[in-house]
Every structure is written in C-alpha cells, then in structure tokens.
Amino acid sequence: MSEHLRADSLRTLFPQIRQLRIELIFNDPTTQLPSPSPQLHTLFGPAPAFFRFACPCADCDGAFDLTEAVATLITGCAERTQATPFTGQLACRGMRFRDHATHQSPCQMQLSFQLLAEPRRADEALELSRGPGAPLRGQR
C-alpha cells in the first residue's frame, strides 16, 4: 500500500492524459470455478500512477504489472486527439500456496486487459501549461 501512495500522480507522469480507464478480465483455464469478477478502474489526474494489480486468487502472491502497457499506450496516443484503446494479455507469474502452505504451484491465472486513455482537450492543456503558481488574475 505504501508503494501505491508513493507513486507520482498520473498528472505528473502523463500531463497529456485526462483520464485513464483500465479494464481487467481474469480467466484461469485450469479450474472449473467461476472466473474472478472483472475489474474496472478509472484514474484521473490526481490518482497515483500505479498500475500493478494483485492477482485475484486469494492464495496467490502474484500481481499483474501494467506499467509498461500504460507507458506504451500513452506514448502512442501522444500525437492523437482521440481516445485510443490498447489491449493485451498477461499471465500471472505468482505461486499459489495450497494444502496448508506446504504445496506450492505456479498460478495459471490469465489477464486480458483493455486500456483507454482520454487525452486532455486543447483548452485544458493550455491551462496546465500556465502551471500551478500562476493563477489567472483579474484584468484591471
């Protein structure tokens, strides 16, 4: 959790992005149990730019790291003005602890993700470039 709180804000790292949507769909092909619930995260400027999500298996110590995917997405959409989706898949590399923690097995959880970055509008970008120390003063 502290790592999450220490992360720079989305606005600091990616000032050109107004909003980032992260959709996570989990699937474990090795089990007949129902798949974990999909997750939808919507991040705005002040949110920490932290893109690692714990594996939904309760007994797994793994996590899915989308940091690189987010960077790729945002670099790619820097020249565009439209919201741009980016999809991909990751496999969990964690270990599951079963049978009273004496037996470990690699986690087989698969993640399909979709990232959607909404670029800042031109007028918002202008406001940002003025910086926080220069509020608009009344014209006299």
Residue (8 or 65) nearer to Zn ion, CB: 65
Task: Find all residues with CB under 8 Å of 19, minimum gap 6, and list them.
Answer: 42, 43, 44, 117, 118
Residue 90 contacts Zn ion per CB under 5 A = no
Verify binding: residue 24, Zn ion, rule CB under 5 A: no
User: In this chain, which of 57, 90, 111, 115 binds Zn ion, going by CB under 5 A?
Assistant: 57
Residue 92 interacts with Zn ion (CB under 5 A)?
A: yes
109 binds Zn ion (CB under 5 A): yes
Structural tokens at position 109? 């959880």
Grouping H, G, I as helix, E, B as strand and the rest as coil, residue 138 is: coil
For 11, the token pair is 């606005």
Can you tell me the distance from the alpha carbon of 44 to that of 9, in angstroms, rounded to the nearest whole number? 9
Please tell me whether residue 60 binds Zn ion under the rule CB under 5 A. yes
* Residues within the interface to Zn ion (CB under 5 A): 55, 57, 60, 62, 92, 94, 107, 109
